[in-house]
Amino acid sequence: MDYREEMKQLRDFLNQQSYLYYVLDAPVIPDYEYDRLNRRLEELEAEHPEEITPDSPTQRVGDKILEGFETYDHPVPLESLQDVFNGDEVAEFCGRMAEALGEAVAYSVEPKVDGLSVALEYRDGVFVRGATRGDGRVGEDVTENLKTVRSIPMTLPDKLPRLIVRGEVYMSRAVFAELNAQRELQGKPLMANPRNAAAGSLRQLDPKVCAERKLDIQVFNLQLAEGKTFSSHAETLDYMASQHFKVIPHKTLTGTAAVQAEIERINDERMDYPFDIDGAVVKVDHLADRERLGSTAKFPKWAVAFKYPPEKKYSRVTDIVVQVGRTGVLTPKAVLEPVRLAGTTVTNATLHNQDFIAEKDIRVGDTVLVQKAGEIIPEILEVDLTKRPEGTVPYVLPDTCPVCGAPVVRDEDGAAARCTGAECPAQLLRNLTHFASRGAMDIDGCGPAVVQQLVDAGLVRTAADLYTLHAAEVAKLDRLGDKSAENLIRAIENSKANDLSRLLYGLGIRQVGEKAAKVLAARLGSMEALMAATEEELTAIPDVGAITARCITEYFAGAQARDLIARLAAAGVNMTSTAAPVGDLLTGRTFVLTGELTAFSRKEAGEKLEALGAKVSGSVSKKTFCVVAGEAAGSKLRKAQELGVPVIDEAAFLTLIGEGEGDAAAVLASLDQAQTPAP
């Protein structure tokens, strides 16, 4: 078979399988077979790059990191809707429609997805552009990120000259829970809710990050269809479904009573949807009627959005318990008498922290008003003091960890109370995952799933236990086997030789990230010197502030930390720095990197600058000393030019760091001179 024909067959088949899997939720081939065929297409495209087409499933995740988002003028405005909040207002809307259009008005009633509104544009059946709503007339071009949403078709069966549809991008509740579990393991702040998570994901400048977030979409409106006419909204929805879009669930009804009943049904069944909703949308169905009604300056007259009020009920606090999260934060939780809210039975509510408890004066035995924040997380709104029993006392968080007994400290820069135990069992999964991660000890094959198995099997209780593992016992774990076990043991053994900076970062000391770990290792040279350093000595090191210094000394003052370090040293883990001494040529100067360099990646180039004492920032400001511009530099270069910040090319950069032709001192002198405004 000709390679062109094979590539076309593979593209068509894989796109059809994606439609079955991501839109219809009806896969017909195993994941393994899909991956195998996708790999074959990748091989053919590598051999024949001139044959790569926009609709290829391999093109859904772009490799190019964006500098920023361009603006996009919507050919058809993405209007917002007027909100209504009760049955009377729905009846009033339907009454206006009946008066203007006649008695038998047909309505489409749909759940209102709580996500981010976007427009998708197709030319001759091929996806060419996607943009956020913005202000309705001008949005941001997020095409590359929208390509990663698997339920968005790259090509359509019909090849209309131009077609634009509107949809709501969302993160499902299941994916949101999975994402927050991963972020907790990594010690990152948790996402507040699925809507914020979806919005933040869609605006990532690296499309690969967006792809990892597994976003989805519900298409709910046909904005433009050149060469095609329709009489009703229901027809447009059916047409979009025939074009392989995932279309919003909807019903076409007549009469106010039927509309109100459907709004109630959607509310009752809201937890059955994979996405969050914050209301229901009522639209006049016939398109000609919409044209007659028109729009106000703000809203179309032919539609409203019914917003569901948060349901509130009283319950009683039967107990307050404390959970220790994977990052060591103590989270108090109120145990409640069961109460039905927003379709589920609530038995507990988070109390956040000591400040929250004290502010509302929540005590065991209190009667409290409860609602679901964002219709998801149960929260206590207030205490009914008239029903407070006698003898209750204010609640205070414990000063020792309820899991390991280590001292609890309160963050100086926040309200969180945190366990200081380096070997606290509650933090074990997070600590081990972080310790083995790429930026830390870089133990290949020791990801979260393997760590979970090692912990569940009782083989590992601290990071030091990794260095006592044997291949035979690891091979017994699920989906590993002899070869994987041998590779893991080899990776663990190799990690012993890592530089001290990796170990410091891997310990998970608060405020000590990769950059601080490198600075500390280079300046102090050994673990022994670091453990003996005082706060004053630490704050004398550039980039180490008072809070960081205190976190370090408090960490090493703990018995669990000292025991862990001793066991790691006994296992042969390197405790000294092998890094070259930090230079001071660029001390106090801030650089920004933009575009593509040929000699180094941006990360490597940043490390070269940091080794000379410079700071590397991700954004340009008046305080930026210099911008290093590689090929295809974008918005950062423009910002530098607008602010008058000096810009150098890669050749001058190489000279500056001592790896190119010319005099580094001369380059630096010219940059210093450029900082002084001309008289």
Alpha helices by DSSP H, 440-584:
448-456, 471-474, 481-495, 500-506, 514-524, 527-532, 535-539, 546-557, 559-570
| Catalytic (active site) residue 307 | no
CB-based contact 383:368 (threshold 8 Å): yes
Beta-bridge partners for 489: none
Helix, strand, coil percentages, rounded to 5, for the chain:
40, 20, 40
Q: Which residues contact 603 (CB under 8 A, 6 or more apart)?
A: none
Question: H or E segment at 89?
Answer: helix 87-101
CB-based contact 89:308 (threshold 8 Å): no
CA distance 472 to 490: 13
Amino acid at 220: F
Beta-bridge partners for 334: 320, 349
Count of C-beta atoms within a 10 Å radius of residue 51: 14
CA distance 344 to 333: 18
Show the tokens assigned to 305.
């959005």
Contacts made by residues 476-481, CB under 8 angstroms, sequence distance 24+: 477/450, 477/453, 478/453, 480/450, 480/453
| Residue of 112, 283, 608, 615 with catalytic role | 112
CA distance 144 to 61: 7
Give the E-state strand segments of 114-191 in sequence order: 116-123, 126-132, 138-140, 162-170
Show the tokens assigned to 375.
């219709």
CA distance 529 to 156: 65
CA distance 579 to 504: 14
Q: Which residues contact 292 (CB under 8 A, 6 or more apart)?
A: 100, 101
Beta-bridge partners for 110: 281
Active site residues: 112
